[in-house]
Structure 1
Amino acid sequence: MASVIGYLEMEIQIPHAHSLKEKRGTVKRIVERLKGKFNVSVSEIGEQDKWQRSVIAVVTVGTSKKVVDSTLEKSVEFVESLYPGFLINYHKEIF
């Protein structure tokens, strides 16, 4: 049985952040909550030097495209529910 890999990249805006420290706190909460809720690998991969922007990647592996896709979609919905209006754009791929 072949494994299926899912990759999700989310660009987020953090309008309340007025410093890198505030931004990092918000990003850390998002990363930790995604890891805990969905058992996925998560990392900030872009815009580390900007106060109000971040790019977060989520990766998951499974045996079914349907399950992997569902996990990625639920991750997007979760971020949107945690911080309404923060998600600017997202892109996902399944291999």
Structure 2
Amino acid sequence: MRVIAVNIIFRLYEVFSLKEKRSIKRKVIERIKNKFNISIAETGSMDSLTTLEISFSAVSNDYKHLDEIYQNVINFIESNFMLEIVDVQKEFL
């Protein structure tokens, strides 16, 4: 069994309240969760208006398949959301 754990930090612009940030976070997480069979949640920077940190993980028998999932999620985020990706940390377990 192989596991991938990914942490992504986004920079948010023109967000003026935590309510707005939560709305953006919910949309991002729900759309990714519905499209891919992964576990995903907000994992940090919860009180920051300008930073959104989410993490996801997936399980497979093959590292290649996990890397494809990772690439597909990143491509989906870049093509469907107006978010700037600041940092991505990927770890295979």
| Structure-1 residue corresponding to 2:54 | 56
Identity of aligned residues (%): 27
Aligned position for 1:10 = 8
| Contact 2:28–2:81 (CA under 8 A) maintained in structure 1 | no
1:91 is the counterpart of 2:92: no
* Gap runs ≥5 in structure 2: none
Over the aligned positions, Cα root-mean-square deviation in angstroms equals 1.1
Report if the CA contact (8 A) 1:5-1:68 is conserved: yes
Residue in 2 that maps onto 1:20 = 18
Shift of 1:40: 0.5
For 1:40, the equivalent position in structure 2 comes to 38
Normalised TM-score (structure 1): 0.91
Runs of 4+ in 1 over 2 A off after TM superposition: none
Q: What CA deviation, in whole Å up to 9, does each residue of 1:13-62 have, x standing for no partner?
A: 11121100000100111111111111100000000001121110010001
Structure 1, gaps ≥5 residues long: none
Give distance in 2, aligned partners of 1:84 and 1:25.
14
Q: State the TM-score, normalized to the length of structure 2.
A: 0.93
